[in-house]
Chains A and B, each alone.
Chain A
């Protein structure tokens, strides 16, 4: 056996709930004991469209949170934006439907061993996995502040129960329709300069992740970001979801965001080379 995909299983999961939350769907799947393998940052790959579908590839979704209860056993919650034909199909599944899933996949957010000041930054529905992460950080005694941003208020995902697991929550929208007018990255520079934050956890569009990496560059702040790159397989065999990442020796490699990510060290991702091929020989 290999370490890659360790803990992942391929199984049928039942849709226990599917409800609209603003522009998103909150979908809860019964996954039984598999919850024990799931960590904040992991993702799930779901077969879409049914058996006769022309969509042959799975769709990857960040696991928003997992829970265990007496009545439902282990459950996994996803926040899905019905954008493409695959996610629309998923959002149309009703309670009781069976889904073919592979989970948990990918690297998880690193959890500090000491209580630290953590800043969680989410863009759009990228905030989904941050609430599960916030609960874990809180239980380790961390101070957890959260910044959420989106183009408009309808695209902010911030459930009531999630707000309880953070010390503070600030919302930014580019059109000012919710929270403060502006980008979610704007307040970060001052927090870094004031040494008010030790670790930043981020999830959202690549532009946001890159902007945060540029702010934290040269500081002692650790930036763990969950990247988003188009994947065909989610399990490391197709080599489509690669990003240029520099290791400690300075060597740049094209790493797979499915198995070497989605959580990566923002300071090592070569953001300026995304979508290009490094000129130096590998």
Chain B
């Protein structure tokens, strides 16, 4: 047990463990800290923050679905200035590793956000969320358009010199995911976060209209795990050298291992925390036990193991 190396890296950022929270599923960390010490997990990925404060979408914002849920939050948040002033110092005080997730409506907004994040100490990486499905205009889902994805990451790259890695978060709702992934890597992304939620809808049989206030929502939970595994496997096959932060329906150590075998260097736990406030810390323990039981000397030796040659 003591010789096992559980650490991972995303670009030039080092993490003691590969299990993180998922953006939008841990708020800014305070809520979960009653249940486990945030310093014990790989990192807290904060809820995607925009430049200005934002109300988000109208309620109802949630619908449970078989082995999953739809959400339609719409990036409610305090805005980057209040977030950096209040939430980051608290996380740093907890000795937590922090990945800040940003979301914008324009290429310029992403660059502005990146510049503000860069000026604050204690942040390990920047997640560029270009794939939130809960925006008013589907045209704003940058990650559905290779050229728009590339321009956002390029703008952020020009702002962040290489001090912290840029992780581009992509949507599975595209035809050719490896092509979009290649585009953002060429534009300067150091790592990829796969996958954001899958666009969905529930119709309420009482009102006989879409149930969510925002009509459509993002599907998450175990129902989408096979989609995440496929996306990670495809992108890792195309670009084995690019680190992937995997996410999508992970609710146990075996689920996390599945994403790692597909090619993820780290795994974020999202919706599972809604049903189990100890999910992140339990999955981390289970994953370590499972890797050791399977005979891996390190986390890194398991990354992408499902891609090995037939003879191995």
Residues of A within 8 A of B (CB): 1-2, 4-6, 8, 10, 47, 54-58, 102, 229-233, 235-244, 254, 259, 274-278, 281-282
Contact = CB atoms under 8 A, between A and B. Distances in A.
A239 B27 contact: yes
Interface in B251-291: 251, 271-278
Interface stretch (B65-73, B124-132, B236-244): B65-73
Q: Among B26, B90, B221, B275, which residue has the most Cβ atoms of chain A within 10 A?
A: B275
B76 A242 contact: yes
9 contacts: A5-B35, A56-B251, A102-B277, A237-B26, A238-B73, A241-B62, A259-B31, A275-B60, A277-B56
Contacts of A232: 62, 64, 69, 71, 274
Contact of B64 (A4, A47, A56, A243): A56
Given A2-B34, A56-B222, A238-B25, A277 B57 contact: yes
A241 B58 CA distance: 10
Interface string B212-245: 0100000001100000000000000000000000
Given A230-B59, A235-B32, A55 B76 contact: no
Nearest to B274: A233
Contact of A242 (B31, B59, B278): B59
A56 B275 CA distance: 6
Contact of A47 (B31, B35, B56, B275): B275
Given A10-B277, A56-B68, A242-B61, 13 more contacts: A47-B276, A55-B64, A56-B222, A233-B273, A235-B277, A237-B25, A237-B27, A239-B73, A240-B73, A241-B61, A242-B76, A277-B58, A282-B53
B33 interface: yes
B55 interface: yes
A4 B87 CA distance: 13
B31 A229 contact: no
B95 interface: no
B31 A4 contact: yes
A240 B71 contact: yes
Contacts of B64: 55-57, 232
Nearest to B37: A1
A241 B71 CA distance: 11
Nearest to B66: A54
Nearest to A58: B275
A21 B76 CA distance: 41
B52 interface: yes
Given A254-B76, A276-B58, A4 B34 contact: yes
B158 interface: no
Contact of A5 (B34, B60, B73, B222): B34
B70 to A, nearest CB: 10
Interface residues of B, number: 43
B54 A54 contact: no
A237 B73 CA distance: 11
Contact of A237 (B31, B59, B68): B31
B221 A5 contact: no
Contact of B31 (A55, A235, A254, A281): A235
Q: Among A2, A4, A5, A278, which residue has the most Cβ atoms of chain B within 10 A?
A: A2
Contacts of B53: 281-282
Contacts of B61: 230, 239-242
Contact of B76 (A4, A235, A239): A239
Interface string B106-117: 000000000000
Contacts of B56: 239, 242, 254, 277
A282 B50 CA distance: 13
B30 interface: yes
Contacts of A276: 58
Interface string B168-199: 00000000000000000000000000000000
B109 to A, nearest CB: 15
A6 B59 contact: no
Contacts of A241: 59, 61-62
A36 to B, nearest CB: 16
A56 B69 contact: yes
A118 B296 CA distance: 65
A231 to B, nearest CB: 8
Given A233-B274, A282-B53, A238 B62 contact: yes
A233 B280 CA distance: 14
Which are the 4 A-B pairs with shortest beta-carbon distances?
A2-B30, A240-B62, A236-B31, A233-B274
A5 B26 CA distance: 13
A259 B276 CA distance: 16
Given A47-B276, A239-B56, A57 B76 contact: no
Nearest to B30: A2
Contact of B30 (A4, A244, A281): A4
